[in-house]
Amino acid sequence: AQSVTQPDIHITVSEGASLELRCNYSYGATPYLFWYVQSPGQGLQLLLKYFSGDTLVQGIKGFEAEFKRSQSSFNLRKPSVHWSDAAEYFCAVGHPNTNAGKSTFGDGTTLTVKP
Amino acid sequence: KAGVTQTPRYLIKTRGQQVTLSCSPISGHRSVSWYQQTPGQGLQFLFEYFSETQRNKGNFPGRFSGRQFSNSRSEMNVSTLELGDSALYLCASSPGTGGQDTQYFGPGTRLTVL
Protein backbone atom coordinates (compact mmCIF):
# COMPACT_ATOMS: atom_id res chain seq x y z
CA ALA A 1 0.00 0.00 0.00
CA GLN A 2 1.16 3.50 -0.70
CA SER A 3 2.20 5.76 2.15
CA VAL A 4 3.47 9.29 2.60
CA THR A 5 5.81 10.64 5.25
CA GLN A 6 6.34 14.27 6.04
CA PRO A 7 9.18 14.18 8.56
CA ASP A 8 8.77 17.75 9.78
CA ILE A 9 5.68 18.46 11.82
CA HIS A 10 6.47 22.13 12.25
CA ILE A 11 8.90 24.46 10.48
CA THR A 12 9.64 28.10 11.23
CA VAL A 13 11.37 30.36 8.73
CA SER A 14 11.97 34.08 8.52
CA GLU A 15 10.18 36.09 5.89
CA GLY A 16 12.33 36.28 2.79
CA ALA A 17 14.23 33.11 3.61
CA SER A 18 14.12 30.01 1.47
CA LEU A 19 11.92 27.06 2.31
CA GLU A 20 12.07 23.33 1.75
CA LEU A 21 9.38 20.96 2.99
CA ARG A 22 10.19 17.27 2.83
CA CYS A 23 8.01 14.49 1.55
CA ASN A 24 8.89 10.82 1.18
CA TYR A 25 6.59 8.26 -0.34
CA SER A 26 6.41 4.53 -0.45
CA TYR A 27 5.07 2.99 -3.61
CA GLY A 28 6.18 0.28 -5.98
CA ALA A 29 6.07 2.34 -9.14
CA THR A 30 6.02 6.00 -10.03
CA PRO A 31 3.00 7.42 -8.26
CA TYR A 32 1.11 10.59 -8.88
CA LEU A 33 2.37 13.19 -6.40
CA PHE A 34 0.66 16.29 -5.11
CA TRP A 35 1.30 19.17 -2.74
CA TYR A 36 -1.63 20.97 -1.14
CA VAL A 37 -1.82 23.96 1.19
CA GLN A 38 -4.44 24.53 3.85
CA SER A 39 -4.95 27.90 5.49
CA PRO A 40 -6.75 28.05 8.84
CA GLY A 41 -10.44 27.38 8.47
CA GLN A 42 -10.10 26.57 4.80
CA GLY A 43 -10.09 23.51 2.62
CA LEU A 44 -7.03 22.28 0.75
CA GLN A 45 -5.74 24.01 -2.35
CA LEU A 46 -3.52 22.28 -4.89
CA LEU A 47 -0.08 23.86 -5.25
CA LEU A 48 1.37 21.51 -7.84
CA LYS A 49 1.35 17.94 -9.08
CA TYR A 50 3.68 15.48 -10.78
CA PHE A 51 2.75 12.60 -13.03
CA SER A 52 5.65 12.12 -15.42
CA GLY A 53 8.22 13.96 -17.47
CA ASP A 54 10.31 16.81 -16.14
CA THR A 55 11.11 16.05 -12.52
CA LEU A 56 11.06 19.73 -11.52
CA VAL A 57 7.49 20.93 -11.31
CA GLN A 58 6.39 24.53 -11.05
CA GLY A 59 3.29 25.41 -9.12
CA ILE A 60 1.26 28.37 -8.00
CA LYS A 61 2.39 31.05 -5.56
CA GLY A 62 6.03 30.60 -6.54
CA PHE A 63 6.36 27.03 -5.28
CA GLU A 64 8.21 24.24 -7.02
CA ALA A 65 8.87 20.61 -6.21
CA GLU A 66 11.39 18.09 -7.42
CA PHE A 67 10.68 14.41 -7.87
CA LYS A 68 13.66 12.22 -7.03
CA ARG A 69 12.96 8.58 -7.75
CA SER A 70 16.18 7.33 -6.17
CA GLN A 71 15.24 8.95 -2.87
CA SER A 72 11.47 8.40 -3.13
CA SER A 73 11.09 12.07 -2.38
CA PHE A 74 9.03 14.97 -3.62
CA ASN A 75 10.22 18.00 -1.68
CA LEU A 76 8.51 21.35 -1.94
CA ARG A 77 10.60 24.52 -2.23
CA LYS A 78 10.18 28.24 -2.38
CA PRO A 79 13.12 30.64 -2.76
CA SER A 80 11.66 33.49 -0.69
CA VAL A 81 8.86 32.97 1.80
CA HIS A 82 6.14 35.56 2.36
CA TRP A 83 4.16 35.98 5.59
CA SER A 84 1.04 34.84 3.72
CA ASP A 85 2.65 31.43 3.16
CA ALA A 86 2.05 30.53 6.79
CA ALA A 87 -0.26 27.52 6.59
CA GLU A 88 -0.27 23.74 6.74
CA TYR A 89 1.17 21.84 3.81
CA PHE A 90 0.22 18.35 2.76
CA CYS A 91 1.97 15.98 0.42
CA ALA A 92 -0.21 13.32 -1.20
CA VAL A 93 0.38 10.29 -3.36
CA GLY A 94 -2.01 8.68 -5.77
CA HIS A 95 -1.87 5.45 -7.71
CA PRO A 96 -1.86 5.86 -11.49
CA ASN A 97 -4.63 3.31 -11.80
CA THR A 98 -6.63 4.67 -8.92
CA ASN A 99 -9.16 7.41 -9.09
CA ALA A 100 -8.12 10.79 -7.81
CA GLY A 101 -10.31 10.48 -4.77
CA LYS A 102 -8.19 7.75 -3.28
CA SER A 103 -4.99 9.69 -2.67
CA THR A 104 -3.09 9.09 0.53
CA PHE A 105 -2.06 12.19 2.44
CA GLY A 106 0.88 12.82 4.72
CA ASP A 107 0.32 14.17 8.21
CA GLY A 108 1.16 17.68 7.14
CA THR A 109 3.81 20.27 7.97
CA THR A 110 2.82 23.49 9.68
CA LEU A 111 4.79 26.48 8.44
CA THR A 112 5.26 29.52 10.64
CA VAL A 113 6.78 32.65 9.11
CA LYS A 114 8.67 35.06 11.38
CA PRO A 115 8.67 38.73 10.44
CA LYS B 1 -16.97 28.70 -11.72
CA ALA B 2 -18.30 28.46 -8.23
CA GLY B 3 -16.16 26.39 -5.90
CA VAL B 4 -17.06 23.40 -3.79
CA THR B 5 -19.57 24.28 -1.11
CA GLN B 6 -20.27 22.40 2.08
CA THR B 7 -23.14 22.85 4.47
CA PRO B 8 -23.36 23.38 7.30
CA ARG B 9 -19.97 24.85 8.17
CA TYR B 10 -20.31 24.07 11.87
CA LEU B 11 -22.32 21.48 13.71
CA ILE B 12 -22.64 20.44 17.34
CA LYS B 13 -24.23 17.11 18.18
CA THR B 14 -24.37 14.80 21.17
CA ARG B 15 -23.30 11.19 21.37
CA GLY B 16 -25.75 8.77 19.86
CA GLN B 17 -27.26 11.25 17.46
CA GLN B 18 -26.88 11.10 13.71
CA VAL B 19 -25.75 13.81 11.33
CA THR B 20 -25.95 14.53 7.60
CA LEU B 21 -23.42 16.70 5.83
CA SER B 22 -23.85 18.08 2.34
CA CYS B 23 -21.40 18.81 -0.46
CA SER B 24 -22.07 20.56 -3.76
CA PRO B 25 -19.27 19.95 -6.26
CA ILE B 26 -17.99 22.23 -8.98
CA SER B 27 -20.33 22.27 -11.95
CA GLY B 28 -19.46 19.47 -14.34
CA HIS B 29 -17.53 17.41 -11.81
CA ARG B 30 -18.83 13.90 -11.38
CA SER B 31 -16.63 12.66 -8.57
CA VAL B 32 -17.03 13.63 -4.94
CA SER B 33 -14.70 12.34 -2.25
CA TRP B 34 -15.02 12.71 1.49
CA TYR B 35 -12.20 12.98 4.02
CA GLN B 36 -12.07 13.16 7.78
CA GLN B 37 -9.40 15.43 9.24
CA THR B 38 -8.37 15.20 12.89
CA PRO B 39 -5.24 16.34 14.73
CA GLY B 40 -4.39 12.77 15.69
CA GLN B 41 -5.12 10.88 12.49
CA GLY B 42 -4.60 13.56 9.86
CA LEU B 43 -6.51 13.37 6.61
CA GLN B 44 -8.22 10.06 6.10
CA PHE B 45 -10.16 9.02 3.04
CA LEU B 46 -13.75 8.04 3.74
CA PHE B 47 -15.25 7.25 0.34
CA GLU B 48 -15.66 8.48 -3.20
CA TYR B 49 -18.80 8.69 -5.28
CA PHE B 50 -18.91 8.85 -9.04
CA SER B 51 -22.11 8.99 -11.07
CA GLU B 52 -24.23 8.13 -8.03
CA THR B 53 -22.17 5.01 -7.23
CA GLN B 54 -19.65 4.48 -4.49
CA ARG B 55 -16.42 3.86 -6.36
CA ASN B 56 -13.88 3.72 -3.53
CA LYS B 57 -14.12 3.24 0.19
CA GLY B 58 -11.71 3.89 3.03
CA ASN B 59 -11.37 2.02 6.27
CA PHE B 60 -14.22 3.44 8.32
CA PRO B 61 -17.04 1.63 10.13
CA GLY B 62 -20.45 1.21 8.61
CA ARG B 63 -21.78 4.11 10.69
CA PHE B 64 -20.28 6.30 7.99
CA SER B 65 -22.25 6.26 4.78
CA GLY B 66 -22.86 8.47 1.84
CA ARG B 67 -24.74 8.94 -1.34
CA GLN B 68 -24.64 10.99 -4.48
CA PHE B 69 -27.52 12.45 -6.39
CA SER B 70 -28.02 12.76 -10.12
CA ASN B 71 -26.79 16.37 -10.02
CA SER B 72 -23.54 15.11 -8.40
CA ARG B 73 -24.32 16.68 -5.03
CA SER B 74 -23.32 14.35 -2.26
CA GLU B 75 -24.29 13.77 1.33
CA MET B 76 -22.54 11.83 4.01
CA ASN B 77 -24.24 10.51 7.08
CA VAL B 78 -22.80 9.44 10.39
CA SER B 79 -25.10 7.47 12.67
CA THR B 80 -24.74 6.83 16.39
CA LEU B 81 -22.17 9.56 16.84
CA GLU B 82 -19.17 8.97 19.08
CA LEU B 83 -16.89 11.52 20.69
CA GLY B 84 -14.13 10.42 18.35
CA ASP B 85 -16.17 11.50 15.33
CA SER B 86 -15.41 15.13 16.17
CA ALA B 87 -13.45 16.33 13.17
CA LEU B 88 -13.32 18.54 10.14
CA TYR B 89 -15.07 16.76 7.27
CA LEU B 90 -13.83 17.79 3.88
CA CYS B 91 -15.27 16.99 0.53
CA ALA B 92 -13.44 17.29 -2.74
CA SER B 93 -14.74 17.23 -6.26
CA SER B 94 -12.98 16.32 -9.48
CA PRO B 95 -13.96 15.48 -13.03
CA GLY B 96 -13.61 11.81 -12.15
CA THR B 97 -11.60 10.79 -15.18
CA GLY B 98 -8.65 9.32 -13.33
CA GLY B 99 -5.74 9.61 -10.94
CA GLN B 100 -4.39 12.71 -12.63
CA ASP B 101 -7.47 14.71 -11.74
CA THR B 102 -7.01 17.70 -9.51
CA GLN B 103 -9.22 17.54 -6.46
CA TYR B 104 -10.92 20.76 -5.45
CA PHE B 105 -11.70 20.92 -1.77
CA GLY B 106 -14.52 22.63 0.03
CA PRO B 107 -13.99 24.59 3.27
CA GLY B 108 -15.20 21.69 5.36
CA THR B 109 -17.81 21.06 8.01
CA ARG B 110 -16.56 21.22 11.58
CA LEU B 111 -18.43 18.58 13.59
CA THR B 112 -18.23 18.62 17.36
CA VAL B 113 -19.69 15.70 19.28
CA LEU B 114 -20.41 16.32 22.96
Q: Which of A32, A42, A96 sits opposite B107 (nearest CB)?
A: A42
Instruction: For residue A104, count CB atoms less than 10 angstroms from its CB and return exposed for 0-12, middle for 13-18, buried for 19 or more.
Output: buried
Cβ-based contacts under 8 A for chains A and B:
75
Q: Which of A96, A103, A105 sits opposite B42 (nearest CB)?
A: A105
Chain A CB contacts of B102 under 8 Å are 46, 49, 100
* Each residue's pLDDT tens digit, A16-60: 999 999 999 988 777 889 999 999 878 899 999 998 888 999 999
Q: Which residue of A has its CA nearest to B90?
A: A43
Chain B CB contacts of A37 under 8 Å are none
Average pLDDT, chain B: 93
Taking the C-alpha atoms of residue B41 and residue A43, their distance in angstroms, rounded to an integer, is 17
* Each residue's pLDDT tens digit, B98-113: 777 888 999 999 999 9
Taking the C-alpha atoms of residue B10 and residue A13, their distance in angstroms, rounded to an integer, is 32
Distance from CA of A83 to the nearest CA of B (A): 22
* Each residue's pLDDT tens digit, B28-63: 999 999 999 998 888 999 999 999 999 889 999 999
Chain B CB contacts of A100 under 8 Å are 31, 33, 94, 96, 98-103
- CA torsion angle for A39, A21, B41, B21 (degrees, to 10)? 30
What per-residue confidence (pLDDT) applies to A101?
Answer: 67
What per-residue confidence (pLDDT) applies to B97?
Answer: 76
